[in-house]
Amino acid sequence: MSSEMKPVAVMRHVESEGPGYFATFLERRGIPWQLFAIDRGDALPVSANDHAGLVFMGGPMSVNDDLPWIRHALHLIRQAVVEGVPVLGHCLGGQLMAKALGSEITRNAVPEIGWGPVELAQVSTAREWFGDVDAFEAFHWHGETFAVPGAATLLLSSPHCAHQAFAMGPHLALQCHIEMTADMVRDWATSNAQDVAAASASPAVMTVEEMCARLPERTAVLHQLADRVYGQWIRHLRT
């Protein structure tokens, strides 16, 4: 793709939850992107139309928190949907998309932290996004969950969280994480070890040691899946 195209806007809400493998994916394909570091005080884009697509990463905050940038983020997502600018959300980003589209974000039955299976819904839209797999191992780190907007299609579920992804036209919201690198998993697991221990009663929470096991193998498989998903998303980028 041409470097003269509009950049993809990537919204980062906390330093440790950057674009990860998604940035690698874009750079390998020569797709320009621009980081908006909300954690450093960056202002959100003024208009969705200034960018080829909008990407919202994760974060420890709740979309129900009274934070000054959330209202702007919701407006930006709604504007992008109206204008046909593709939106991609990871975890908190997916929850922002759901809220912008009129759905509630509530506490999940149990926290999900670590690697765990997600299954594809038996609908053609799920195949379009995720390819010819019935299930895959994703990374999880969330205590809340989104409801699926009425105009969207549920794509993924896990044993402990029924709503793991939805799509609406060119827009994709993920509750699970497909952008993880081995370094990101190690960083999250070790720097949040107390949070992991506090949530250890949940059947969907791994120990730090379990999370960090077989990382080269796990992330390699995850990146193959991410290539498929991100490849589908960039087909809709605005030039």
Token pair, residue 170, equals 């060119």
Note whether 184 and 20 are within 8 A (CB).
Answer: yes
Q: How many residues does the chain have?
A: 239
Tell me, which fold does domain 8-234 have in CATH?
A: Rossmann fold (3.40.50)
Specify the pTM. 0.97
Strands of the chain, DSSP E: 8-12, 33-37, 53-56, 87-90, 105-120, 135-146, 153-158, 161-168, 171-174
Q: Please list the pLDDT of the chain residue by residue as tens digits (239 residues).
A: 545 899 999 999 999 999 999 999 999 999 999 999 999 999 999 999 999 999 999 999 999 999 999 999 999 999 999 999 999 999 999 999 999 999 999 999 999 999 999 999 999 999 999 999 999 999 999 999 999 999 999 999 999 999 999 999 999 999 999 999 999 999 999 999 999 999 999 999 999 999 999 999 999 999 999 999 999 999 999 98
Tens of pLDDT, residue by residue over 203-234, are: 999 999 999 999 999 999 999 999 999 999 99
Distance CA 216, CA 221 (A): 9
Nearest to 25 by CA among 236, 239, 238, 228: 228
Distance CA 71, CA 63 (A): 9
Note whether 203 and 160 are within 8 A (CB).
Answer: yes
Give me the phi and psi of 34, to 5 degrees please: -130, 130
Between the alpha carbon of residue 205 and those of residues 18, 59, 110, 160, 178, the distances in Å are 22, 18, 9, 10, 17
Non-local (6+) Cβ contacts of 147 within 8 A are 98, 103, 104, 105, 106, 163
Domain ranges of the chain: 8-234
Nearest to 100 by CA among 111, 85, 112: 85
